[in-house]
Amino acid sequence: MSILFSPIELGGLRLPNRVVVSPMCQYVADNGKATSWHLIHLGGLAVSGAGLLCIEATAVEPDGRITPGDLGLWDDETEAALKHVVDEVRRHSGIRLAIQLGHAGRKASSEVPWKGGQQIALADGGWITDAPSAVATKDGEELPRELDREGMIRIRDAFVAAARRAERLGIDAIELHCAHGYLLHEFLSPVSNRRTDEYGGTLANRMRYPLEVYDAVRAVWPKHKPLGVKVSATDWIDGGWDVAQTIEFAKALKTRGVGWIDVSSGGISPRQKITPGPGYQVPFASQIKEASGAAVFSVGLITDAQQAEAIVASGQADAVAIARAMLYDPRWAWHAAATLGATVEAPPQYWRAPPQKHAAVFGEIAHGAR
């Protein structure tokens, strides 16, 4: 029996399998509002056979967008636009839906990747960004504004407000973005956090604000719905955030009942030195899982069914989160299930799609419908 295609409980949420569609920024929102592209993109992934579909990084306030095209959930207009997408996905798919809430911090005000991804100058429509300290991501960029307590409370409350909106939308789970060099990761990392108050210096101080945000969101998010956290396990920089510190952060989250920890890495600085390869981030997930006892998702060049099966079957992670491989093959979970002799959910309109040798991949009822 395939472990990858066995059920898993995350808090009060039961997933039919352990394949997660990672949140993937699309950079085509209209002032934060979801568009027809989001309906096409998420609609296709909603019938992928995965157990959980996570909506892309969604900014909790306009200045928290990575790019002007980022999705947002900060007012009635952005909520209504996303509601249309969520409602249509729900109409045709029973997939469980999560949303990743985040704030880009000092990496905000950037161009979309296909236009170079560089910081947008103020004269060209950019904006002053927020950060733990007035330290730019790289030389030559506009310095971010160091957040005072009022600004930190404003952003914390924006996370809370976005969580309330996500609940109204009927979202099943939230993932807080504490990775990839964005605001909450910036507070964690000594590379970007140079503060001398109670939010900087020691590990406990640097963890304080991300944990405050987590606690505030948890307080308003329904108890039966999981609240996960995405982390960068290491900055890949000497003297930066590392696995040992991530484990302490994970332990603090575990005591708070975290639904899962989604383990990625990097993003804090262009000085990072990464040598990527198949499954290169899996050891981080394994260490964090073993040390903290929290459920973990593993990411990073996981492309093959047997590879994914081995990761969860060996206990290195509880689930795998697939991103680029899912874009390249939106039926990745179908094909993985067929390879591993498992079944997945699919709409009846597609029941006749598999070749005869894999006809049972949608279950016996679908098989009989051929």
The answer to whether 369 and 352 are in contact (CB under 8 A) is yes
8-330 falls under which CATH superfamily? Aldolase class I (3.20.20.70)
**Per-residue pLDDT at 366 exceeds 90:** no
The pair of three-digit structure tokens given for residue 86, joined into one six-digit string: 């969520």
Structural element, H or E, at residue 339: helix 332-340
DSSP for residue 167: H
Burial of residue 248, with CB atoms counted within 10 A of its CB: 0-12 exposed, 13-18 middle, 19 or more buried: middle
**Per-residue pLDDT at 364 exceeds 70:** no
**Per-residue pLDDT at 369 exceeds 60:** no
Distance separating alpha carbons of residues 368 and 357, to the nearest angstrom: 14
282-292 vs 243-255: helix axis angle to the nearest 10? 50
Burial of residue 291, with CB atoms counted within 10 A of its CB: 0-12 exposed, 13-18 middle, 19 or more buried: middle
Distances (CA, A) of 238 to 189, 233, 273: 12, 13, 10
332-340 vs 305-313: helix axis angle to the nearest 10? 70
Which pLDDT tens digit goes with each residue over 288-301?
999 999 999 999 99
Taking the CA atoms of the chain, what radius of gyration do you get in angstroms? 20
pLDDT at 357: 87
Which pLDDT tens digit goes with each residue over 5-54?
999 999 999 999 999 999 999 999 999 999 999 999 999 999 999 999 99
The answer to whether 185 and 213 are in contact (CB under 8 A) is no
Residue in 182, 199, 209, 214 annotated catalytic: 182
Backbone angles phi, psi at 20, to 5 degrees: -115, 135
Bridge partners, residue 9, by sequence? 14
The answer to whether 17 and 6 are in contact (CB under 8 A) is yes
Q: Are strands 71-72 and 261-264 parallel, antiparallel or unpaired?
A: unpaired
Contacts of 137 (CB under 8 A, 6+ apart): 106, 107, 119, 181, 192, 268, 269, 270
Which pLDDT tens digit goes with each residue over 50-71?
999 999 999 999 999 999 999 9
pLDDT bracket for residue 359 (50, 70, 90): confident
Which pLDDT tens digit goes with each residue over 157-210?
999 999 999 999 999 999 999 999 999 999 999 999 999 999 999 999 999 999
pLDDT at 368: 55
Q: Where are the domains of the chain?
A: 8-330
Residue whose pair of structure tokens reads 């606690």 in the numeric block: 215
Backbone angles phi, psi at 13, to 5 degrees: -105, 125
Distance separating alpha carbons of residues 100 and 26, to the nearest angstrom: 13
Which pLDDT tens digit goes with each residue over 125-168?
999 999 999 999 999 999 999 999 999 999 999 999 999 999 99
Is 182 among the residues known to form the active site? yes
